[in-house]
Chains A and B, each alone.
Chain A
Amino acid sequence: MATVRRFEHGSRVPGWDEAADLTKDPAVVPDPASTPVPEDLRYEIEAYVARYPDVRSASIPALFAVQRWHGWCSPTAIEQAACVMRLTPAYLTSVATFYDMLETEPKGEHDVYVCTNISCSLRGGDQVYEAMLSAGGDDPSFNIRSFECLGACDIAPMASVNGIYVGPLDEDDCRTIVEDLKAGRTPLDAKQIRHRPQATSLTAEGPPAVDRVDVASGPSASGNDTFGNKDM
């Protein structure tokens, strides 16, 4: 599970005895004169803003843009987005903290989301997550997270590697993915989702008849006939 960050006492909010810093003034809409924003970044955000009747609608696209630029939604990144959009940093922070894909703490450059939701777990997703951690967990350039259903349970167990869906995965694949990323290659090309044909075309004999049938044993053409360890 991608876990919600909680304080030691288990809650999502700071404890009653942790006072807010009252000596600091609340941050206002950043002043363009004292908030340098890279030219390209500003153009990109302004293009997003133009798509909507209300500037705030561009919050998510703008936060993605600064995250791509700075590596994460750092205070500087949020301030730059706020400056272009004429919003307070607090507003954008409230948005950034809501969504799983916007990260408000430094992260590795390679995003590896391993799905550990139901359908993937039924086919060994939790083991794949462990294997991914042992393959690349020590490398600070990797951001390996367990994730909720990524909408590709047909290739379960699967992962999203820098946005590219790959599966079905086994432990060897995890090592290959880590090596591919380190070498700057596109990850596990053969198992990327863009190659996957319609499911009915995956069996040579076509769909079996309507009544209960004995489907020929042995791996199907889809290659995901094997089951991982089923302990969830």
Chain B
Amino acid sequence: MTSVAAGQAGAQPDQIQILFHEIDRPGLASLDVYRDLGGYAMLKRALTEMTPEAVLAELQASGVRGRGGAGFAMGKKASFLPKGDMDKYLVCNADESEPGTFKDRELMQKTPHTLIEGLAISAYAVGANRAYIYIRGEYALQADVLEDALIEAKAAGYVGERIFGSDFSLELWVHRGAGAYICGEETALLDSLEGKRGNPRLKPPFPAINGLYGGPTLINNVETLMNAPHILKMGGAEFAKIGTETSTGTKVVSVSGCVRRPGNYEVVLGTPSRHIIEGLAGGAPEGRSIKAWFPGGSSAPVLPGTDEMLDLPYDFDSLAKAGSMLGSGAIIVIDDSIPIVDVALKTAKFYRHESCGKCTPCREGTNWTVKMLERVETGEATPMDLDIMASVCEQMMGNCLCVLADAMAMPIGSMIKHFREEFEAHIEAARERNGLGIAMPDTVNRGAHAGPEDLLGEPAYAGAAEAH
């Protein structure tokens, strides 16, 4: 790790505050206060002193990776947009519907002008003259704050025709969604913004080539775009020194679930996960311990609460190596009082509800996973159902238009992998409550029965119980 301070003994990695700097200063959402703190100076520098290529080069040098889920390098994605005079678009993904994630909400509500400035700088870098902020419809307060900020920015000439007397013009609008998780997926978001049902599109072509209204489109998350003014201020190379070699900068991490102080914490990437969960968020409540945690929203595979896992540096690559992902940077902590089966069922139900239904493996896979988990809860399942579930998850992954299917398969699959014993004990206990007796795997003859009904009916079970 070539990090500044992260992970080193005695260091206080959370003391570097970039996006959360002065975040609670009264009136920060207004143009006056934002400008007093140096706001829009970087937009001015970009437009009056730098070429778009130079701005793009700084973004690339910063190494900043997408904060919305996939973690793709922002500068690199921006460089994919073709040069030339066609209509290009910039879309800010403010849909933030990943369960456990609430960082964009706090950022937009408290410092909306940082987003507008970051958007304008990024739009200049790629030559986009039209931009939209797609914000989830539930965020009424934040959308109002953004719209007020936008009116101020337009009146001051920071958005609109020939900004700062340059040749660059930008039209920017806030677009409210209407409640659909899938609209966070970038191509579904584009369809939704075009006024259609929010169904994902086949990729490639990627939005950078063929996006909104068929034009080249850069799509980035709120937090990603908000880093742009800071990158220009520090210089891309200097920004790249914060964090680890491949995960640069800071990350606003949303910590929720079974912790004492849920909330957003800005940390340098590479900070030990334990510091975030136990240091900042206070750890599990009195007398409980951490059983499992989602490192990056509910779509990330869960990790067990072992010392080895909690000591993982919180950055893109360390989490990927451990079999999970940083995702949207949302940690959900589950303590030892929570049955893992309940978490699995909640998770699966969410994805069943949010599947757009276009691909068979996703539409059917989410539905059947919920049904099987319900059988586990009601005591009608056998351990064989766990194998079927695992195989359903396996077959969903990589076989669909978008990764929503993977987003259910990964956490459910990982729960079965890490907590199989608990699932089995849960099944046996529920069967016993229902007077069904044990269901050891070797009593299940997979070849002889067409469906699970037979296996669970009285005769099969009675024989099985006697055999033991």
- Could you list which residues of chain A lie within 8 angstroms of chain B, going by C-beta atoms? 1-4, 12, 51-61, 63-64, 94-95, 98-102, 113, 117-119, 121-123, 147-156, 160, 163-165, 193-194, 197-203, 207-213, 215, 217, 220, 222, 224-225, 227, 230-232
Contact = CB atoms under 8 A, between A and B. Distances in A.
Nearest to A211: B279
A54 B195 contact: yes
24 contacts: A2-B353, A53-B87, A55-B195, A57-B194, A60-B175, A61-B176, A98-B180, A101-B138, A101-B178, A122-B332, A122-B338, A150-B138, A151-B96, A156-B256, A164-B140, A164-B141, A198-B23, A199-B262, A200-B265, A207-B14, A208-B282, A210-B279, A212-B278, A213-B283
A232 B233 CA distance: 47
Contacts of A155: 262
Nearest to B11: A210
B198 interface: yes
B103 to A, nearest CB: 9
Given A98-B198, A119-B100, A151-B105, A194 B141 contact: yes
Contacts, number: 217
B260 A154 contact: no
A232 B137 CA distance: 26
A102 B178 CA distance: 7
A155 B20 CA distance: 19
A160 B357 CA distance: 27
Contacts of A225: 260-261, 285
Interface string B26-69: 00000000000000000000000000000000000000000000
**The 6 residue pairs across chains A and B that have the minimum distance between CB atoms:** A199-B263, A100-B179, A56-B195, A153-B256, A99-B178, A163-B140
Given A55-B195, A64-B178, A149-B97, 12 more contacts: A58-B195, A99-B177, A123-B258, A148-B353, A193-B109, A194-B141, A198-B263, A209-B279, A210-B11, A210-B272, A220-B261, A232-B339
B20 to A, nearest CB: 6
Nearest to A85: B195
Contact of B141 (A12, A165, A222): A165
Interface stretch (B112-120, B343-351, B440-448): B343-351
A210 B15 CA distance: 12
A118 B178 CA distance: 21
A199 B261 contact: yes
Contacts of A153: 99-102, 254, 256-257, 262, 330, 332
B298 interface: yes
B24 interface: yes
Contacts of B138: 101, 113, 147, 150-151, 160, 163
A154 B196 contact: no
Contacts of B396: none
Given A95-B196, A148-B97, A54 B213 contact: yes
Contacts of A12: 357
B405 interface: no
A162 to B, nearest CB: 9
Interface residues of B, number: 79
Contact of A152 (B105, B176, B257, B280): B105
Interface string B167-186: 00000010111111100000
Contacts of B417: none
Contact of A63 (B178, B213, B285): B178
Contacts of B332: 118-119, 122, 153
B197 interface: yes
B187 interface: no
Interface string B245-267: 00000000010111011111100
A22 B257 CA distance: 53
A60 B176 contact: yes
A217 B197 CA distance: 49
Contacts of A63: 178
Contacts of A197: 24
A207 B280 contact: yes
Contact of A121 (B101, B181, B346): B346
B24 A122 contact: no
Contacts of A123: 257-258
A220 B10 CA distance: 25
B286 interface: yes
B196 A199 contact: no
B282 A220 contact: yes
Contact of A4 (B97, B181, B353): B353
Most chain A Cβ neighbours within 10 Å, of B101, B109, B195, B254:
B195
B334 A122 contact: yes
Given A95-B196, A121-B346, A215 B260 contact: yes
